[in-house]
A and B are shown apart, each in its own frame.
Chain A
């Protein structure tokens, strides 16, 4: 039988402005049999999305297919007119985009949007479609499948929207589904739910698909075959187990090496205990009017305490919305806090950066998140760095230029880049400049907010290496805010786990994965996908075995004094956890945990 998807010698060229045409995709061939899932793996700019979209007959403006054929379910996509393309899109082949949050129209109810593609193709009357949608919602393990369709996108979480978008794509029973990084924007704990819902539906309905991703451990869970793309060309193709365990191409090997969790830890245990550099004590940050108790109406960071010793790196981890970024803003003096203290070298810092002394500002530097917006696009990077050098150090002219070159060298960039504009740099280079700008102040502690989140795996690994080097060579302290447990484990000395604004656990990074932990830390640890096929199933089974909460608690009706993780906790004890606020428990040589009964991580969790 012929393959469901057959792509032969696909060539796509594109031009920018009036320039000459450049190849974007060259000589790509692959095929997918019915019921199989093919992963397209590559970094940003490798052409993986371009290839995936070309299956739907969609080519970005300014690009065109220069050669080759694409056959999807018997249609020759390259030969279709735009009218014919419209008739197969959504019916024969459908698409699940990366960011479900922005893919739904916020003004229409979910059900109207989910049945829309099927209505356009007039496959079934609306009533039947709605019944079908409900069964899909159930299959995708969405809560309240009967009524979720009446809700609006703003009322649902990112993971739920992503599953709803898959439901929308599956409404017409398409032959082929294209998934474009559907879980990249999700937290690990959500990602695992979405992945297992996807996988169950794939198995049940025998879906043929193409799954675009850069995350190799996701590939291990979801795909049968994989294609590694680089610069628009196939570097390696084969079964998933071959690509993941016996890669032949040097590029696939590099990708794997970067994804492999590896320790960059120096042996700090033998070094003497350093004095504390930055102390956060019972910090409360929030928005809105003050209540009678003097606390803000909406508390985002709730009595968080930790300290960062000199020359050490503290990792702050938590899911989106847990208050990580607000904490960073408060520490850097951009967001005043309602209660608590912040001490730098024992001196209290104020919540307004304008009221801090120049030295305090210099010693605490912020490296912001988004590589694309951290640099002023209208200034050459040399000027950006020179400004900081002049602002803090008072250097001008030749001395400033020398210092700028020194800084560029420190972040392993060539001094010739100084005259470039940020738009002429790659994401990794921008992030290095971002670092250099913080280093220009000659700081003692650097606050890094999700700096590797938007970078490709290989580039992110290089940035982590750079951080570790700077820590070692300059004796810098870091606060590294992230949602990536692997990155955190590989470079941090200490970690703080944030959940709903509370630091549920603060402790040494070495202890992570063994000994006693907060249930949320365990959940987090457990949800990071491993690069082994079958991990998803075994984790699901283990989760199902765990005593799930008998009744779902409404987290809003709970007393704010009680444990913030109560509604999701698998280990909660009724009569204790829902009555008494959790105490802070310290484990010898382990973390400080905010829980009644911190249970040890079972050893089999760690395999």
Chain B
């Protein structure tokens, strides 16, 4: 067990550490600021950084840091949840396509092709226009959008592994399908799948930020990085941190994880 963790850690340590860092920031970050993210604490709007407001104030005079920490929480947790949905459903379907009867593969493959052909932003707009915005709707929508990609990756991996001799031998021994999936196939596709999970996470951060920027993502009083940018668009004229900092954070979040994933897959 320890050996397995060691192996896992040495392969994916950077990307994994980074994701854990963002999760911790999402869970505990809002506790670090004494300001209420919703309270109007200052008379001046778009004020410059000061001791009272470390990152200045936003367009209503609210503390930017408190709102930023809150925004990170929503962005990260929402995207984490949707990635969990897309990757677990995608992996399940991908392996099912390889191990179950041929019609399962035909059906899932065509469905995935269909979903992939719809532009993701349009699809999200459509779903939200019909079902309205709620946290659940956002998670499910983004989960559905990124399931076909995860399905494709896992199917390709599982297909390669299922053809290897040790799986053939297990089948010849008469092992059950769940045993073959859980013990023979899954452990050997974990590495590349982790990379895929990281990529889906980045995609969902970008999509959620887009949606919120358009005003159909996270709704007030809740706040996320995309909606912060939209709210404080006027601040661009004043060079206000309330508009610039969320943009920078989105960049650091996505590019950082991407770079970490690249370096870990390059070293394999």
Interface size grouping (class) on chain B: 10 to 19
Asked if A391 contacts B173 (CB within 8 A), the reply is yes
Extra pairs beyond A353-B174, A437-B169 (5, CB < 8 Å) = A17-B267, A368-B169, A378-B190, A388-B173, A441-B173
For the complex, is A120 an interface residue (Cβ under 8 Å from B)?
no
Cross-chain contact of B165 among A358, A373, A379 (Cβ < 8 A): A373
A17 to B169, CA, bound (A): 33
List 30 A-B pairs, Cβ < 8 Å.
A17-B267, A332-B172, A333-B172, A334-B168, A334-B171, A353-B171, A353-B172, A353-B174, A354-B174, A358-B174, A361-B172, A365-B172, A366-B169, A368-B165, A368-B166, A370-B165, A373-B164, A373-B165, A373-B166, A374-B165, A374-B169, A377-B188, A378-B4, A378-B187, A378-B188, A379-B183, A379-B187, A387-B183, A391-B175, A437-B169
Contacts of B172 in A (CB 8 A): 332-334, 353, 361, 365-366
Chain B residues whose CB sits within 8 angstroms of the CB of A368 once the complex forms: 165-166, 168-169
A414 to B188, CA, bound (A): 26
Mark A330-359 against chain B: 1 for CB-CB distance below 8 A, else 0. 001110000000000000000001101010
Interface string of B255-268 (1 = CB under 8 A from A): 00000000000010
Q: Does A376 contact B (CB under 8 A)?
A: yes
Inside 8 A of A4's CB, which chain B residues have their CB? none
B135-176 CB contacts (< 8 Å) to partner A: 164-166, 168-169, 171-175
Chain A residues whose CB sits within 8 angstroms of the CB of B165 once the complex forms: 368-370, 373-374
Closest to B176 in A: A354
Check B184 for interface membership: any CB of A closer than 8 A: yes
Interface bracket on A = 20 to 34
Task: Return B265 CB to nearest CB of chain A, in Å.
Answer: 15
Q: Which residues of A contact B175 (CB under 8 A)?
A: 391
Closest chain A residue, CB of each to CB of B164: A373
Name which residue of chain A comes closest to B165, CB basis.
A368
- Report whether A361 and B174 are in contact in the complex, using a CB–CB cutoff of 8 Å: yes
A370 to B163, CA, bound (A): 12
Q: Closest chain A residue to B166 by CB distance?
A: A376
Binary flags per residue of B1-34, CB closer than 8 Å to A gives 1, else 0: 0001000000000000000000000000000000
Instruction: Specify which chain B residues have a CB less than 8 angstroms from the CB of A441 in the assembled complex.
Output: 173
| Cβ of A375 under 8 Å from chain B | yes
Chain A residues whose CB sits within 8 angstroms of the CB of B184 once the complex forms:
376
Which residues from B are CB-within-8-Å of A361?
Answer: 172-174
CB distance from A331 to the nearest CB of B (A): 10
Interface string of B179-194 (1 = CB under 8 A from A): 0000110011010000
Q: Of all chain A residues, which has the CB nearest B167?
A: A376
Give the distance in Å from the alpha carbon of A375 to the alpha carbon of B169 in the complex: 9
> What is the CB-to-nearest-CB distance from B190 to chain A, in angstroms, rounded to a whole number?
8
Q: Cα distance A366–B165 when bound, in Å?
A: 10
Q: Whole-angstrom distance between the alpha carbons of A376 and B181 in the complex? A: 12
Q: When chains A and B are docked, how far (Å) is the Cα of A363 from the Cα of B169?
A: 14
Per-residue interface assignment for chain A, residues 412 to 454, with 1 indicating a CB less than 8 Å from any chain B CB and 0 otherwise = 0000000000000000000000000100010000000000000
**Separation of A379 and B166 alpha carbons in the complex (Å):** 11
Which residue of the partner chain B has the closest CB to A356? B174
Q: How far is the CA of A257 from the CA of B201 in the complex (A)?
A: 59
Instruction: Name the A residues within 8 Å of B188 (CB-CB).
Output: 376-378
Determine the residue in chain A with the shortest Cβ distance to B190.
A378
A87 and B36 alpha carbons, distance in the complex (Å): 70
Mark interface residues in B212-255 (1 if CB within 8 Å of A CB, else 0).
00000000000000000000000000000000000000000000
State the CA gap A17–B267 with chains docked (Å): 8
Q: Which of B115-130 contact A (CB under 8 A)?
A: none
Chain B residues, Cβ within 8 Å of A391 = 173, 175
Q: Please determine whether A366 and B187 come into contact, CB atoms closer than 8 angstroms.
A: no
Interface residues of A in 376-392 (CB under 8 A from B): 376-379, 387-388, 391-392
B residues less than 8 Å from A17 (CB atoms)? 267
In the bound complex, what is the Cα–Cα distance between A50 and B171 (angstroms)? 39
A139 to B182: give the CA distance in the assembly, Å.
Answer: 56
Which chain A residues border B174 with CB–CB below 8 Å?
353-354, 356, 358, 361
Which B residues are in CB contact (< 8 Å) with A333?
Answer: 172
**Interfacial chain B residues near A354, Cβ < 8 Å:** 174
Interface pairs A-B: 3 shortest CB-CB:
A368-B165, A378-B187, A373-B164
- Give chain B residues whose Cβ lies under 8 Å from the Cβ of A334: 168, 171-172
Chain B residues with Cβ under 8 A from A374's Cβ?
Answer: 165-166, 169
Residues of B within 8 A of A388 (CB): 173
Chain B's nearest CB lies how many Å from the CB of A3? Answer: 42
**Separation of A606 and B169 alpha carbons in the complex (Å):** 39
Residue of B nearest to A366 (CB): B172
Which chain B residues in 186-207 approach chain A with CB under 8 Å? 187-188, 190
List A contacts of B190 (CB < 8 A). 378
Q: Bound state CA distance, A374 and B165, in angstroms? A: 5
What is the bound-complex CA distance between A334 and B165, given in angstroms? 12
Residue of chain B at shortest CB distance from A378: B187
Q: Are A366 and B166 in contact (CB under 8 A)?
A: no
Q: Which of A305-340 contact B (CB under 8 A)?
A: 332-334
User: What is the bound-complex CA distance between A388 and B170, given in angstroms?
Assistant: 9
Q: Give the docked Cα–Cα distance between A387 and B170 (Å).
A: 10
In contact, A375 and B166 (Cβ under 8 angstroms)? yes
Q: Closest approach, in angstroms, between the C-beta of A430 and any C-beta of chain B?
A: 11
Give B167 Cβ to nearest chain A Cβ, in Å. 8
C-alpha spacing A361/B169, complex, angstroms: 11
